[in-house]
Chain A
């Protein structure tokens, strides 16, 4: 008698279970919380999931997706990005930043920002800059005055206070003297330098200026096709977490704590 040892694999979706693959005979945990499935028919699939339940007598394995955050539990966040594909501005060039509201670097259809303000910090001084509404959304113009490495942040006050920070480089090689802004919740790059694909990038989460341990930091990038944040990191005792950069374009780091949300846009040239 032939012993049947393959199982159907299902994805747990609350009250429902969705069949992912039939007659699976290989399940291998991979790196970065992936699970590889292979069926007796040669079908293969890699998912970001964990095993929730195995009922071997009934040939059933139930997975639970790790990444997907239910849409109802998501809250919108704001983020800044320089209006240049070049990663930085040159001296004398008009410096313009775009401000978005949405999730996972995907702007919401309605960009309804309320009680918004933007601040530029440079050489220990801060000044407020106007946030303008334009046809394509919101923008912040720093005009031609800007020079050096500027820390810019925006704040939208409301039920949740949402902060967005970005480093804006005007000219080259301004990598010194960078300090946290002292926001109620802030993501700060550990060692400011030009971020490159193929390298690790470390950030630190600070709450009222102090390291926040055990915080979940969501990380995404401009070109993602994932519906939810593709990466989630957890900060260590010093509030630090790092990620290996594997995508082109800008990255966005996001952290929430209570009624605070804070993002940091990592601007990459490529």
Chain B
């Protein structure tokens, strides 16, 4: 009990607060685990391709351990609540999409308003009440009413590589070789490249 937090609580601790977006991600992660027989990633056996950068992605990171840092979280900036999750070991993957308007209703509208600004005491109490209502809704809705999904063939991206670190001639900081540019002035990191303008490459 002390060590093994349940998935929902891992997600909440990681994200810092409870909100409907996070809970949708919890449902997606737990569904993927069940559907594909997945556990928690240790060393890039799992991969997540997410088509948004909203709260749901924190649940994917916390529950499946597909993380930005490990490189097994691939972000595609499509603005869609779609998550493709797969296992290198089994070669299986599933694409999960939230059904359009599956969680519509006045509570969501009002929560959206209250989530984006500083609240007075009365509004904070209203938001707390809404979180309770929405929490139960999101966690209780049948998965087939919340998502559509299909098994997909996934070209698994290569595992993260460890490359040589070079020193930037301009700022003196280290930079991955693959992100550095050789110029007439020496090796530049992307930031110094940008500052230098059109420093000619060699």
Contacts and interface: CB of A to CB of B under 8 A. Distances in A.
A247 B5 CA distance: 16
A2 to B, nearest CB: 26
A197 interface: yes
Contacts of A197: 8-9, 12, 18, 135
B13 A225 contact: no
A34 B126 CA distance: 10
Nearest to B136: A244
B22 to A, nearest CB: 11
Given A197-B8, A225-B121, A247 B113 contact: no
Contacts of A4: none
Given A88-B1, A225-B124, A246-B135, A44 B18 contact: no
Interface stretch (B65-73, B102-110, B181-189, B194-202): B102-110
B124 A34 contact: no
Contacts of A225: 121, 124-125, 128
Contacts of A137: none
Interface in A54-109: 86, 88
| A interface majority secondary structure | loop
Contact of A198 (B124, B131, B139): B139
Interface string B84-122: 000000000000000000000111011001000000010
A247 B132 contact: yes
Nearest to A47: B126
Given A32-B132, A194-B1, A44 B12 contact: no
Interface in B38-84: none
For chain A, the bracket of interface size reads 20 to 34
B128 A34 contact: no
Contact of A34 (B5, B6, B107, B113): B107
A36 interface: yes
Interface string A231-258: 0000000000000101110000000000
B192 interface: no
A122 interface: no
A38 interface: yes
Contacts of A198: 8, 26, 135, 139
Contacts, number: 83
A39 to B, nearest CB: 12
A30 interface: yes
Which residue, of A28, A31, A46, A47, has the highest number of chain B Cβ atoms within 10 A? A46
A93 B137 CA distance: 40
Given A198-B139, A244-B136, A38 B106 contact: yes
Nearest to B109: A44
B130 A46 contact: yes
Contact of A28 (B13, B106, B121, B140): B106
B143 interface: no
Task: Give the one of B107, B109, B140 with max A CB within 10 A.
Answer: B107
19 contacts: A30-B107, A32-B136, A44-B106, A44-B109, A46-B110, A46-B126, A46-B129, A88-B1, A197-B8, A197-B9, A197-B12, A198-B26, A226-B125, A226-B129, A227-B125, A230-B129, A246-B131, A248-B12, A270-B12
Interface of B: 1-2, 5-6, 8-9, 12-13, 18, 26, 105-107, 109-110, 113, 121, 124-126, 128-133, 135-137, 139-140
